[in-house]
Amino acid sequence: MSEEPSEQTNIPPNPELISRRQFFNRLILALLAVGGVLMGIPFIGFLFEPLIRKFTPVWRPVGAVDKFPIGSTTDVSFVDANPLSWSGVTANSAAWLRRDSETQFTAFSVNCTHLGCPVRWVAGSQLFMCPCHGGVYNKNGEVVAGPPPLPLPRYPVRVNNGQVEIQASPVPITAPFSLP
Ligand code: FES
């Protein structure tokens, strides 16, 4: 019995073929890297935009003075100070507006100083309650219970031509520094 000689497969690699394969591998890696950088630009912009961007406070009307009875606390909405052109409805902000006297108003941010959840005003107990982690503020926005580390921020308010105006500006949220 004679054995057939096995076919020799040790063909030396074609240097041109290897270099073409390497070229395409490198091209694909380069395209992936460029794509990754392009996709990362909006994210990087989102992260660092608040550090770079200058916010100019703006007075926003929230309603006629007569609309707010003395002693009442009402939720009002207004457009952020410097909304981005693509913000849409997220450019809207809100505040709790209390009328203290004929001419005096106090405006509290609706955002809890813990993690930013919107607080609601409970007139019966004269408290602002945060639904997220049980934060409680008294009628002056001071913390009386729960994890919020700071009182509710206040907006400057003025009366101008019969309109109540709130000076819109970015609201500071303490998280993540307040996290355990
Ligand atoms: S966000 Fe208000 S208590 Fe946590």
Q: What is the CATH number of the domain that holds 92?
A: 2.102.10.10
Ligand 1 binding residues, C-beta < 6 A: 112, 114-115, 117, 130, 132-133, 135, 146-148
For the cut 50, the answer to whether the pLDDT of residue 2 exceeds it is no
d(CA 90, CA 79): 9
Please write the tens of the pLDDT for every residue from 11-23.
766 666 668 888 8
Asked if residue 134 and residue 91 are part of one domain, the reply reads: yes
What total number of domains does the chain contain?
A: 2
pLDDT digits (tens, 9 = 90+) for 107-159: 999 999 999 899 999 999 999 999 999 999 999 999 999 999 999 999 999 99
Q: What is the pLDDT of residue 57?
A: 82
Give the per-residue pLDDT at 117: 94
* Helices marked H in the chain: 15-52
Sequence-distant (6+) residues with CB within 8 A of 65 are 159, 162, 163, 164
Q: Based on the domain organization, do 17 and 75 belong to the same domain?
A: no
Residue to mutate (ligand 1; options 114, 136, 143, 171; most atoms within 8 A of CB) = 114
Can you give the residue range of the structural domain that contains 28? 13-53
Residue type, 42: P
Tell me the per-residue pLDDT of 52-109, one tens digit each, with 9 for 90 and over. 767 778 899 999 999 999 999 999 999 888 777 777 777 888 999 999 999 899 999 9
Q: What is the dihedral of CA 36, 86, 111, 109, to 10 degrees?
A: 140
